[in-house]
Amino acid sequence: MTPHRISALTGAILLTMIPAIAQAYSGPGVGLGAIGVVLGILGSVFLMTVSLVWYPVKRLIRGLRQRPAAPPRDSKA
């Protein structure tokens, strides 16, 4: 590509990044739906993290409870 085309492409990309006023209206249903989606994603990530931590800890506690007691040692020295 020639330098002229590269600069034209760069200029076109930069022009598309300029913010403009959006001539649109999102009603309360769309807003509440978007909030619900965000909360659902955050909740699922939180539950995934809790499950990754909780289940190994639960198995460890269960294993410690089911371990037989150690036999008493003789105190003869």
pLDDT at 26: 78
Confidence check: pLDDT of 74 > 70: no
Q: Is the dihedral of CA 9, 14, 19, 20 positive or negative?
A: negative
**pLDDT per position as a tens digit, 12-23:** 999 888 877 767
Alpha-carbon distance of 11 to 41, in angstroms, equals: 37
**pLDDT per position as a tens digit, 42-72:** 999 999 999 999 888 998 899 888 877 666 6
pLDDT at 50: 92
Token pair in block for residue 14: 């930069």
DSSP state of 67: S
pTM score > 0.75 for this model? no
Residue 2: phi, psi to the nearest 5? -80, 160
